[in-house]
Amino acid sequence: MDHEIRDQLARIRSSPAFDAPDRAQKFLCYVVEEALQGRADRIKAYSIAIEVFHRDASFDAQNDPVVRIEAGRVRRALEHYYLLTGQKDPILITIPKGGYVPIFSRVLECPAQADELVAQARPSMVGRLAVPVTCLMLLGVAGWALADHSALGPFSYGGPAAVTDPAPGMPKVIIAPFEDITGTPGSALLTRGLNDEVIGQMARFKEINILAGDAATEPVKASPSGSYLPLYRLEGRIRLDADRLRFSARLIDRDDGVIIWTKTYDAELGRRALLDIETEIAGEIAMTLAQPYGVIFQAKASEVLDNPSEDAKAYACALSYYGYRADLNRQTHAAVQGCLKEVVARYPNYATAWALLSLTYLDELRFRYRLDASTAAPIDLALQTAARAVSLDPGNVRALQAEMLADYFNRDVQNALAIGEKAYALNPNDTEFAGEYGFRLALSGEWERGCRLLSQTITRNPGPVDYFRSGMAVCAYMDRDYQAAERWARAADLPDNPIYHVILAAIYGQRGKMPEARQESGWLERNAPDYLTGIRKEVSTRILRPQDQEHFIEGLIKAGFSIPVERSSETMPPAVALSASNG
């Protein structure tokens, strides 16, 4: 039987439907092989951490959640595989929650035996099978770990949202069928294609709800307080004239009929493929309307925030987060985090809120906000809430953004960048994500591509871009263009953010502007003294290549910072250190 299980494992790993990073695949291979070798009793968090993730002997599962985080990824990837591709596979491999020991089952050809065999299996075990099967025979359970949900930390990792769970209120956009005013077969085809493409591109943004079709008679949902969630209608008209396309779009507020946005797009059909034109126009519309800080975000933000109805509180909380994100002010951080905690308590299957909550936990760590107020390590909370968000909605770019950043600051850089690439492919028009991903690429050593994404974000993002301007300051600094670095840094306005002051200090140091450098050092002494005592660690946590770290620290030393001179690849994640040692 062992060879059949190994064949099934190989089948799973070779399938595109098994969407798991390398370390998650190593996890699965390890626990399967240990079970087949009769060592199921050894499959514990400690042994997995040592053998698979190369942690040292001091590993403590309570303080380092790497094993349970990867176990969650493996479970989700297995469920995804069996739902899409493996429904008729002869062997079923599952890893029940509460432990890491795999369960192996065989799908039989004999439905008549199903009731008897399922009755013989442990009820708790049968209930954990992730896919519907009609006839199972247990090959021999490799082992069984009793479910101890307390070991998973304060958050559970459930499956998709149940239909009975409450859903948060969000703005709705009715995308009406576009009007073909040319009336030819070719224009009709183009109209339908562009309509479908706009619906698809808009639906990738999870902060709004998209309604496809002509819902012109849908009533506005008023709340008891008189406030309501925004409801909009997107209309479009297409005209073809020889080889020229003109598409006119407008967004209408359904409450009062006011046109809040309109735009006309022109394209030469003879020079480009229709699909490319459809994709480009739809992408621009989605980017302009649907992303954070876009037209929909801005249209009624103040009205919703000033008097949120009960059904609009979750949306108002998301608006508050993006308001905080604009200037990263520590005074608003606590209020925004508390608001998001209330939202996920009320709407436990709202993936976007879990993702935003994860990002606030991460800010505690990277910006030194309220570190002493957390009941657990901020990085652990960030990892757990990000995993929750992704488990609820694997295609949610904000959830993947949270997972990417949590992994990055947990020093799992290789996996963080893999998640980033996946999310960028899902929605390249989400400039809020593209800029953050570009910054991670740049800081990990891919300066050219990363800084290009940052630059594009500043051009395309309709909202505040001060955070990304500070990233461009680092890009110019690393290119030794200190004048441009100062220009970018001065263009940013993040007076309450300690990293912003560190960047300014390094730039001033390189430019020999000592009064300005002392001013930045004084700000850090008063507001973030931990940065001064651990500045090398702060730099190495963000900038990964040793030569880049030393270049940045050089500016701080010139600015008068007292920093011990040392170089060690131990400050780098293993994957990055290996890359650097190979040239």
Closest CA to 8 of 90, 128, 102, 113: 90
Q: What pLDDT score was predicted for residue 557?
A: 94
Q: What pLDDT score was predicted for residue 272?
A: 67
Q: What is the mean pLDDT of residues 312-330?
A: 88
Q: What pLDDT score was predicted for residue 61?
A: 77
Q: What share of the chain is helix, strand, coil (3-state, %, to 5)?
A: 55, 10, 35
Domain ranges of the chain: 2-152, 172-299, 300-429
The domain made up of 300-429 has a fold known as 1.25.40
139 pLDDT exceeds 60?
A: no
Q: What is the mean pLDDT of residues 375-399?
A: 90
Q: Who wins on pLDDT, 452 or 221?
A: 452
449 pLDDT exceeds 60?
A: yes
Q: What pLDDT score was predicted for residue 228?
A: 65
Helices and strands (H, E) in the chain, number of each type: 26, 9
211 pLDDT exceeds 60?
A: yes
Give the pLDDT confidence of 236-254 residue by residue, as tens digits: 999 988 788 899 999 999 8
CA separation for the pair 203, 433 (Å, rounded):
16
Q: What pLDDT score was predicted for residue 19?
A: 81
Q: What is the mean pLDDT of residues 457-474?
A: 90
Q: Who wins on pLDDT, 73 or 430?
A: 430
What phi and psi, each to the nearest 5 degrees, are found at residue 317?
A: -65, -40
533 pLDDT exceeds 60?
A: yes
Q: Determine what percent of the chain is predicted with pLDDT higher than 90.
A: 45
Q: What pLDDT score was predicted for residue 497?
A: 87
CA separation for the pair 453, 479 (Å, rounded):
16
Q: What pLDDT score was predicted for residue 17?
A: 82
581 pLDDT exceeds 60?
A: no
Q: Which helix (H) or strand (E) holds 343?
A: helix 330-346
Which band of pLDDT confidence, cut at 50, 70 and 90, is reported for residue 189?
confident
108 pLDDT exceeds 60?
A: no
107 pLDDT exceeds 70?
A: no
**Secondary-structure class of domain 172-299 per CATH:** alpha beta
551 pLDDT exceeds 90?
A: yes
150 pLDDT exceeds 80?
A: no
Residues facing residue 175 across a β-bridge: 212, 234
Q: What pLDDT score was predicted for residue 214?
A: 63
Q: What is the mean pLDDT of residues 321-341?
A: 89
Which band of pLDDT confidence, cut at 50, 70 and 90, is reported for residue 525?
very high
Degrees (nearest 5) of the Cα angle 58, 61, 65? 120
